[in-house]
Structure 1
Amino acid sequence: MEKITFNAMREFIIENELTDSVSITLHPDNFDELVLDYLDFNDNQIERPFEILGIEILQDNSGDIPKSKIHIMENAQ
């Protein structure tokens, strides 16, 4: 995905039929961009944990996720 925006992430979640059994992890730069875009759509309010359509969005702190890539991770049951 070239630019990870709020609308693009919503479409990605819907197109891939993701459920709350997964989380999405993003490169820190993409995470920050997405949060700022999300704040614009939600009158500067953000929920914790950060979720879009019930899918938790996390920031990669390990350096494993490349920029502009979306990593889907199964949640522990």
Structure 2
Amino acid sequence: MEKITFDAMRNYILENELTDSVAISLHPDSFDELVMDYLDFNGNQIERPFEILGVEIRQDNTGNVVRSYIHTDSTLQ
């Protein structure tokens, strides 16, 4: 995915039928782009934890997720 936008992320979640059993990790640059697009869409309001359609969106701080790539993690123990 070239640029991760709010619409693209929402479509990705719907198309892949993701639920709250997963979380999405994004490269810090992709995370920042998504947050800025989300703020524009949602009137400069954001909740913590950051979720779209009930799926938590996280910033990767490990350096393992490349830019413009969506990485899913199971939240089940």
Same fold (TM over 0.5): yes
- Report the identity percentage: 71
What pairs up with 1:1-77 in 2 under 5 angstroms?
Answer: 1-77=1-77
Residue 64 (structure 1) shift: 0.4
Q: What is the DSSP-based 3-state SS (H/G/I as helix, E as strand, rest coil) of the residue aligned with 2:56?
A: strand
**Deviation of the 1:66 alpha carbon:** 0.5
For structure 2, the 5+ residue unaligned runs are none
Q: Deviations over 1:53-76 (max 9, x none)?
A: 000000000100001100000003
SS in structure 2 at match of 1:24? strand
Count of matched residue positions in the alignment of Structure 1 and Structure 2: 77
Unpaired runs of at least 5, structure 1 = none
TM norm structure 1 = 0.98
With the length of structure 2 as denominator, give the TM-score of the two structures: 0.98
The CA RMSD measured in Å over matched residues stands at: 0.6
Structure 1 runs (4+) deviating above 2 angstroms are none
Give the AA of the match of 1:47: E
2: CA distance, partners of 1:66 / 1:54: 23
